[in-house]
Amino acid sequence: MISVFVYGTLLVGESNHGVVSPFMKHAEPGVIHGRLYDVGPYPALVRTEDNHQVVGEWLDVTEEGLIAMDELEMYYGPGHPNNEYERVWVKDVHNQREGWVYCWRSPRGLPEIQGSSWKAHRQSNGL
């Protein structure tokens, strides 16, 4: 099983969850360090060294699930020039859970999402 932290449209109940749900074995809440930025229809996460936190879910998926997420997130491999996101290894703030997360390469020009939750941001802005 492969653990992936998701924080946006791949969350259970969100618009792209169907991409990963056939390959998902388990989901549980999680929190990692970082900041969210608003890309419009989806968020982008940037890892930070400060104590700001992002709320999301840990999904346990098969290798096929990771491949499906890589395709959705336009991740072509470590350091590939066409990557929209990089896939990096992270640990949960509250427990020993660890796994992959998709991080935006650069937040330049994107508005920061106030708070720590894409779902809360989307709901409060009627998105």
Q: Identify whether 73 is a catalytic site residue.
A: yes
Of the candidates 85, 88, 63, 61, the one whose C-alpha atom is nearest the C-alpha of residue 74 is: 85
Tokens of 19: 């991409």
Q: Which of 73, 84, 86, 98 is catalytic?
A: 73
Find the angle CA(84)-CA(98)-CA(120) to the nearest 5 degrees.
65
Catalytic site positions: 73
